[in-house]
Structure 1
């Protein structure tokens, strides 16, 4: 009986000790994150190293250490820790995102793309990984390739705002601003009261002003130049469908404009409400 009680005591003690280690490690992470936010990355790194020794199976310590080095612009050191972070069973898509970003910063865009693809195999619904794939091509000014991945990201994770943001920037500066208007409106519904929201709001306003012409009793709108649908933009495969821009968006917008005689903030609000 005494032996049984002793075994139970050891078992309970072990569980409590394990819980205490885990709680201490978690507490250290919270302190370290605050130190990073307050501008003390070196102190945060030391604390995270202590926490890692208490909880060796969690990616978060290598992730945060890597981020601290990233903020210090010590990218080689940061890269080492993100290479470790992606190998944990409980790693997340942000580990692959940061590793890929560091490879891109280091002048290795092809390796960055491979890293994002590895992440997408594990996290196929990750909008941020599609975003970063698009950003590789954005940085190379290959916008047609970039938009492909931003739109893939929108399809994979519709509530992730950054892909809408990038897509809006591209389309509003293209011959097809119609899609910039749509993506921009969705973006502003997903991300409220940020600098990016203000930027997109102004871009949409300027695009409305530029693409709507009111002369006397004549109204002209020009949000799309495409008069044929390309079902696969990368293969130039054309269908007989009427394009959304000239077949749907522009006619409805004309009806929404109604008897408006000038485009300004007040009339634009009315047009958008009618749309």
Structure 2
């Protein structure tokens, strides 16, 4: 059981490793930290731990160094030493969000779920707007829950508290897809891709985004006739964000009636935006659609959709397209680099 729990944690736990002690001026210390990072990236935990220990002797008050040493022991599955290393920091006024996250992960790996939850709650008392800690809280709840509703609540809260933190979108998107709630899966997956565009998780989200559109298309392609002479069933639209989304998709679904490919999906998304902006943009703010509209106005929407869907839909076709339109790709990438997407606290959310 302990092995299974550790596997789950190592798969879900996100510790944003960076070089420690960047404020320290000693070139020798920086060299040791760099060496420790290289050993850690090579899974050479013994040498990484030795380097971090040496660095801590040179900078004993550096929180990041102690946290990185504890993380090294965590990866090594030496949970006792990981706990011994992180606890003095956790119990001090210097404890930051990552300290609470790592301490909770260590307790979770030891099977102490109650204590792990207590640590995260203490962290949220200190950092009430921490997307990272809400993500950790959701991860703790999903392990032994019968469904993902409680975890989803925490991930959504994290999204609302800290919209620019990516991982809550990733976890929430997967949960909504699993639940068959494809609208939020689509929105959150694309949001994550834009916030974290170049990781293994990005590829995972791109596949899920494409699959989500296929699911939406299959749901919208119901050939059942509506009731005859029933104005309620034919005229009344559901008056909420989900209803607005469905109406905007339904109105333009004919764009992919002759096949589901990237070109047709791009056309659907283009017409969706036009319809959304004309009918719902003011009532239901959603910064992702605003960002998509900016991409359209700047002439990059085709390249953007190829970037999202091309490789995961058909890698051979995407390679041919990329070869033919090198300048379009380069222009889009430069534009995106200078115009990163930032979610807005006013965005619609499932909890609203």
TM normalised by structure 1 equals: 0.76
Give the superposition deviation at 1:258.
4.4
Asked whether the equivalents of residues 52 and 69 of structure 2 are also in contact (C-alpha less than 8 Å), the reply is: yes
Q: Corresponding residue for 1:211?
A: 216
Asked whether the equivalents of residues 62 and 82 of structure 1 are also in contact (C-alpha less than 8 Å), the reply is: yes
Q: Deviations over 1:110-160 (max 9, x none)?
A: 111111111122222221110010011211243010000000111121111
Larger Rg: 1
Choose the corresponding residue for 2:266, options 254, 265, 269. Answer: 269
Asked whether the equivalents of residues 79 and 106 of structure 2 are also in contact (C-alpha less than 8 Å), the reply is: yes
**Bigger relative contact order, structure 1 or 2, given CA contacts below 8 A and separation 6+?**
2
CA 49–256 in structure 1, closer or farther in 2 if over 3 Å, else same: same
Q: Corresponding residue for 1:255?
A: 251
Give the superposition deviation at 1:59.
1.2
Moved more, 112-121 or 257-266: 257-266
Distance 2:70 2:192 in 1: 30
Structure 2 unaligned spans of 5+: 1-22, 227-237, 273-352
Are 1:181 and 2:186 an aligned pair? Answer: yes
Asked whether the equivalents of residues 24 and 51 of structure 1 are also in contact (C-alpha less than 8 Å), the reply is: no
Are 1:150 and 2:147 an aligned pair? Answer: no
Distance 2:121 2:173 in 1: 24
Moved over 3 A (4+): 19-27, 87-91, 213-220
Q: Corresponding residue for 1:96?
A: 100
Distance 1:21 1:160 in 2: 30
Structure 1 unaligned spans of 5+: 1-18, 221-240
Aligned residues: 236
CA 258–107 in structure 1, closer or farther in 2 if over 3 Å, else same: same
Give the superposition deviation at 1:56.
2.1
Asked whether the equivalents of residues 58 and 88 of structure 1 are also in contact (C-alpha less than 8 Å), the reply is: no
Q: Corresponding residue for 1:125?
A: 129
Counterpart secondary structure, 2:111: coil
Give the superposition deviation at 1:176.
2.6
Give the superposition deviation at 1:37.
2.0
Give the superposition deviation at 1:60.
2.1
Give the superposition deviation at 1:70.
1.4
Counterpart secondary structure, 1:57: coil
